[in-house]
Structure formats: C-alpha cells, structure tokens
Structure 1
C-alpha cells in the first residue's frame, strides 16, 4: 500500500477474479464510489475526493484495463466493467453507496444503479456517455473513434500517438482534449499522470483493452432505446452535470437525456469541458454534498 502524495489516498487491491486497484481516500460517513471514464483512472478524482471526506468515506476504483487494474486477460467492455463495479460495491464496500461516474464511468454507473437499485443511494453523472441522437461530434473525436472501430487502424493510431512523444506531452494532449482550459489542472496532477504512464509502459494488452472499451462505449451509446430503458430503472436521486464545451459528449446529447428523465437534476456549466471534477472540483463537491444530504 502506498499513500498518494498531496491527496491523502491509500492504494489498495481487491481480488475480484484478478487484482483490482482502488484508492481509499478515507473519511467517515456513507460511502461514495468514484468511477472514471475511458482512458481515465483514480487520478481523475484526486482534486475532488478531499472535499468529500469530511462527510463520506470515499473510494475511487480503477476499472479493468485502466489505471493500475491491468487487463490480465479480462474483458474491458462496458458490460464487463459494470459487473466489476457490481462486485466491487458488494465485496469491497459491502453497503449501499453513492455513485459518481464520469464519461464511460457515468454509463457504467447508470447500468449498475439500474441493476441494483437498492444498492445505490444517490447517482451523480458528470459528462456521462449518453446516446448522441444526432448531436454533432467534434471532428477530431469522430475521426479517432472511427479509426478505433477498424481492425488494425485503432492499434496503429494509439501507437502513433505515443511514438517519440514524452509522457508530459501525452498528458498535456489528453488534458487539452478533455478540458476547456487545461491550465486549471495543477502541475501535481500532471506529474502524477506522467508517473502512471511510466508505470503502465511495460504492461501487455493495454491498447487492446482501451480499444475494446472504446468500441463498447460506442455500441452502448448507439443502443439508445436499451440505454434509456436502463436510465428509467434508476430509483436513486440523480444529478446530471455537463460542460458546455465538452468535445467528447456534446451538451445537446446531455440535454436530450435530461428531457427524457425530468426527475433528474440537470446543470450545465459554462466554459467547462469533459472533466468538471478536474476543472471545477470545489463546485462539483458542493453539488455532490447537497445531493447526498437529501
């Protein structure tokens, strides 16, 4: 176990058909489980978690194929990681939780809350992957996901994106994509992300794991009727937040999801991108604490 500098979290592993890494940020009170998105990790939550620990026990799980949960032959699709989350909540936490999911993690959290309504007390969705319903994708994002879907092309694109590129540049490139203004992300998060890249360099199967997850997100989003049916089965209070400058999931898609679920609380943040927990962590913490106080 190692403590994560600056954020007070402790790395731990659970055996859920293989090692699953998570960070226990400590805290007292009802548990909150944080679920990252495609290409993300526990580091996506390091700025938010410290604001929640005074009222909650806070844990951030690394889904299969991401962070420090290595694939090791496991499936990394949305349904498979939804089952992993199911086991994590049941076997590691052991009591009902508030779920906070970003991007793909929001989709996985919806599926879990629909399947286990008694096990989820509150659900917060931060720029979740939702059906696009004709919303116009950013051209760069659309091109990348089109290549991910093609045999060989996705692997080539991932390898090309790393070739001759320093870990710092890799991190900055991702932050420029997911943030409206990447300069708001502290240097300590950049350094931690660089270190994580270096830790993962020699792990086999990471590109295949990412591509399987990316293709699965696209399939699940395209199955709009089935996904919306899962949303309708969520019984917990839901808070849906979205940045109006999100390049990966257009805000129009979030607005459509909100219209279909009028009981959900919906908020759009101006000048914010795809990861509000990194861009405006104090504001998001305030909203989450208000949600779980109800």
Structure 2
C-alpha cells in the first residue's frame, strides 16, 4: 500500500453540472438492466464501468464520469432491483457480481476500469478477484467490506429487520409513511458530510430518483434482501473458506485506488485503510470532512486521484506528468476535500 497522489487540477474540464447521463434498458439473461452511457470526449478513451451502492443508482456517478470522460468511455449500471433495473432472483454479493460480469461480457468492452461505491465496492472486489481478466484498474470508494461493529454505522438500525420474517413488508410500510422530500433529505444527511457541497440541481435529481423508487413495488424487498446479503457476506468473511471478501481482496492483481471519507456514517472508517492494506497493488486516499459518497461530494478530488492511478497504470509519456503530492490539501480542487496524509502511510 502507498499513498494516493493527485493529477494536476488543470487537466480536469471546467466546473459544470451535467444532467444525468442518457440511459437505456438492456435485456440481459431475461431481465432488464438499466445502463447510462457517458460518451468519451478523448480519442484514446478506455472503457470504464461504474457500480453504485445500496439504495443508490447509476446517477450517483454523473459528475465523476463526466470529469473522467477524456480518458474513460463510461457506463454505469443499475444493479437488479435498484434504479430502473428490474428485480433479481437473489440479492447477494456473488449474484450482483455475476450481473456485472455478464454485462461486461455482453457489452464486449472488457477489460474495464472498474469503479464501486459502498455495496458496489464489495461487488467490484468480488469481480476483480474472481475475474481478473475483466478488470484493468479498480477504484473503491467507501467499499462495504466486512466489519462487525454495526454501532459504527447508521445501517445498524436496520439489523432488527433481518430477524423479522418478511421484514421487507415493514420496510415498505415505513417507506410509505415518508414523503419523498423527507426521504431525500435523510439520504443526503446519511451519505454526505457537508450538504453545502451538493447543488440544488443534484438535490432535485435525488428527489426525482426517490420518486422512481416509490413507483417500484419491489424496491423495499430489494433493499432489505440486499442488506441481508451484505451482512451475511460480512459474517462469512470471518469464517474459513474461499468466499471471504477479505481473502478475495488479497488476491486482486489490478492496480487499485481506495478512497475513504473520515466522516463516513455508513461504513466503518477503518475499512478503507484495511482494504488498501489487503490489496497488494493499492493506493489509499483518506479525506477529512467527507462522507460516504466522495464521488458525489468531492468529485474533482476523486477524479484527480483516478487520473493519477491511470497514469501510473498506463506506460507512456503521459505517466511522466507532475502530480500534486499527498499532504498538499488538494489546492485548487474546488471540492474542499482535505487530505489526511498520515492515514495513507
């Protein structure tokens, strides 16, 4: 493990707020997977795939995918049961990983630069460990890898649901009691450390996305069953056997960037450093005053770290450009996501 570094700010496009990238439904193995495309703006862009977290969607990657479009030809998928994708039969890490693998194979774009946030981080670890032929580089943002102290997560409040038969019915009832505006605000407060970083446009888009969830009768069941599958994967990771996510992470060969927020309220803040220690070829960036979705809260800082990872991983003249050193507080990033250099050593 080593410290992540930042690509120069001037190599990013100007500040702007694109709308969510155009999406399309694709029938894959008998069900619909919804895919958003971020067209490349550079001639030598390489394929990338973005995987969202629990309760999220492909819209969570709008800003980061746009910032990286000069280097990456991006696609973001809605996992089964989330966003605009149809529900799945199983809501486990291996099942979601299988859908990601099938999409990469179906699209014919592999190997890809793979990105995962939270649940999507756990799924991406599984994909990178089990199918290294499909992954060029790996970027994990607050990955939901195993931790057992749920007192360090707001999600701990959901644990009683797992003990209730058909707890998804209770979740659906609770969902019906909350106005979409209230749910959007609660989701933002849980995921973002500094709400002033989220524009009114992005807040409205999040509200529109939650209204889509209200119209999906399967959403509550998908959420609860996915949370149950995630907790099961946590417990399994501390038992002998090949399905441990920590063992799978230790076998990842792809160059990897791990990003964590020191004000993450959903994943134990110790998980990101542990992930970077376990993955052999890893770089760690811990950000002060940042929450669970750094790609939404400080997208330019994350983009600069990704560009440095790509430069390190791609031989050629571009890899020789100077980079901002860790500890410089990411001057000029426009995100105000401060470095914690001591956490990356």
Aligned to 1:232: 250
Q: Does 1:250 align with 2:268?
A: yes
1:133-282 aligned within 5 A: 134=149, 136-138=151-153, 140-163=154-177, 165-225=178-238, 226-261=244-279, 263-282=281-300
Residue pair 2:38, 2:74 contacting (<8 A) in 1 also: yes
Residue pair 1:178, 1:273 contacting (<8 A) in 2 also: yes
Shift in Å at residue 136 of structure 1? Answer: 4.5
Summarize deviations over 1:74-117 as a string: whole Å, max 9, x none: 32322211100001111124321000100000000010011110
Residue 114 of structure 1 aligns to a residue whose secondary structure is helix
Residues 1:134 and 1:240: Cα distance change in structure 2 (over 3 Å): same
Residue pair 1:162, 1:170 contacting (<8 A) in 2 also: no
Shift in Å at residue 254 of structure 1? Answer: 2.5
Residues 1:272 and 1:152: Cα distance change in structure 2 (over 3 Å): same
Aligned residue pairs total: 287
TM-score, with structure 2 as normaliser: 0.78
Aligned to 2:33: 20
Aligned to 2:128: 113
> Unpaired segments of 5 or more residues in structure 1?
none
Aligned to 2:145: 130
Residue pair 1:14, 1:92 contacting (<8 A) in 2 also: no
Select the residue among 101, 115, 118 that pairs with 1:103: 118
1:69-108 aligned within 5 A: 69-71=85-87, 74-108=89-123
Q: Which has the larger radius of gyration?
A: 2
Residue 208 of structure 1 aligns to a residue whose secondary structure is helix
| Runs of 4+ in structure 1 over 6 Å off | none
Shift in Å at residue 158 of structure 1? Answer: 4.4
- 189-198 or 240-249, larger mean C-alpha shift: 189-198
Shift in Å at residue 202 of structure 1? Answer: 2.9
Shift in Å at residue 196 of structure 1? Answer: 2.1
**Partners in 1 of 2:77 and 2:204 — Cα distance?**
20
Aligned to 2:66: 50
> Unpaired segments of 5 or more residues in structure 2?
1-16, 239-243, 313-345
Aligned to 2:50: 34
Residue pair 1:7, 1:50 contacting (<8 A) in 2 also: no
Residue pair 1:11, 1:24 contacting (<8 A) in 2 also: yes
Residues 1:292 and 1:246: Cα distance change in structure 2 (over 3 Å): same
Residue 63 of structure 2 aligns to a residue whose secondary structure is coil
Residue pair 1:180, 1:245 contacting (<8 A) in 2 also: yes
Residue pair 2:155, 2:266 contacting (<8 A) in 1 also: yes
RMSD: 1.9
Residue 168 of structure 1 aligns to a residue whose secondary structure is helix
Summarize deviations over 1:165-213 as a string: whole Å, max 9, x none: 3222211110101111223111212212222222333323221111111
1:274-293 aligned within 5 A: 274-293=292-311
**Partners in 1 of 2:211 and 2:118 — Cα distance?**
24
**Partners in 1 of 2:220 and 2:151 — Cα distance?**
27
Shift in Å at residue 59 of structure 1? Answer: 0.8
